[in-house]
Amino acid sequence: MDSTDVINPATGAVFAAVPSNGLAETDAAIERAQRAFLSWRHVAPGDRARLLRRFAAVVGEHIEELAGLEVRNSGHTIGNARWEAGNVRDVLDFYAGAPERLSGRQIPVAGGLDVTFHEPLGVVGIIVPWNFPMPIAGWGFAPALAAGNTVVLKPAELTPLTAIRLAELALEAGLPEDVFTVLPGKGRVVGQRFVTHPAVRKVCFTGSTEVGKSIMAGCADQVKRVTLELGGKSANVVFADADLERAAASAPAGVFDNAGQDCCARSRLLVQDSVYDRFLALLEPAVKAFRVRDPALETADMGPLISAGHRAKVASYTAGAEIAFAGEAPTGDGWWFPPTVLLARSAGDPHWREEVFGPVLSVLPFRDEAEAIRLANDTEYGLSGSIWTRDLGRALRVSRGVETGNLSVNSHSSVRYWTPFGGMKQSGLGRELGPDALLSFTDVKNVFISTDS
């Protein structure tokens, strides 16, 4: 079997090698998962719940180990990596409550009894990106397992280590063999086989819109269910009546967290023209204070980008652009890039329109509420965003007017595991997390029982 080198993005050095599954290994794993489904689906709800709670507890016992792996593999800051491992634990705990609550309905009918059941789909294929390897894996496998499905999961080629370790911890927690399988390998082999194999009844994909479209087209051939969480170009809209100091202080974390490698990054900053100059004056020291350093340090706010190739792509957006100001970043080995603020000349600038997926913030002024909504919606994406205002009526009007799946008012929070998460337009299809996710891993079966003698 071939192998793939794993590189520490903070140093550029190879520190591990991971086997890369081929087509035969992928088919064999899917077939084992299909056999395991026949028994897993019939595990009593209370027993399935106990196993998931135990899985959550075992993950909780290994937070520091998982976080340390993510720092080295993904370049995430240690604080972020601890949160990510804790999120896997919490999502498992949340969905551990689901098996015993997966209730159908009794529907009034003439001549008998009509009831519905939520039946598991079978094998679920989950394709995980490199930017948040742990939590996005958990958002897929936790509700899928809770609903009675088995899971095959393909981690990103760049960042496979924490997914591999989570599969080991699942076995340690007592989950049966082949109920949760991690298959590192190339997307065009392992991920594509999830799309084409008839035993895989749903694919969950997080990644680029371009790849998501091809996965959706492939799944259509088998009328296969799909959940897509794709790109984003989210707006951070600051009105003149907002708490400008607070909005400026929070803006860097809203876009530069995880080095801007976040589909929810508020990478388009819209500021009302009457406070535009003042806001930029408040923003500059906050950007320059954002600490880019060794991600293993407790004081790091931001680590490196994921690869040399990605750093070159991010840098291409700043070439020739008008830089308002920038922070600092290490200059040694590794894929470092400073937090950078660009002034958009128009809404047609590439750095304003395209998903940079790096620590680059584009700024544009707006006149009034109507123009703010128009500019926020002037994108093919619709994943997240923020609105800053003290006017509750305006907050509600603009929230309803902006075409995006997740919005925060006077905040940059996008994700809570007990509330739904997902995009509109070309940012995706379906919802993860919260109560909405569970039922997407089931089919509704309707049963009529005649009471005629």
The structure tokens 């909780």 sit at 60
Q: Compute the CA torsion angle 58, 75, 287, 392 (nearest 10 deg).
A: -40
If phi > 0 it is left, if psi is from -120 to 50 it is alpha, else beta; for residue 319 that is: beta
Catalytic residue among 84, 263, 264, 432: 263
219 a catalytic residue? no
Give the total residue count for the chain. 453
Cβ pair 311, 14 in contact under 8 A = no
Determine the residue type at 93. D
Residues 6+ apart with CB under 8 A from 382: 232, 403, 404, 405, 423, 424, 425, 426, 427
CA pair distance 254, 428, nearest whole angstrom: 21
Strands of 64-157 (E only): list them: 106-107, 112-120, 123-127, 150-154
Cβ pair 339, 287 in contact under 8 A = yes
Determine the residue type at 346. S
Cβ pair 7, 307 in contact under 8 A = yes
229 a catalytic residue? yes
Catalytic residue among 70, 84, 157, 229: 229
Please list the active-site residues: 229, 263
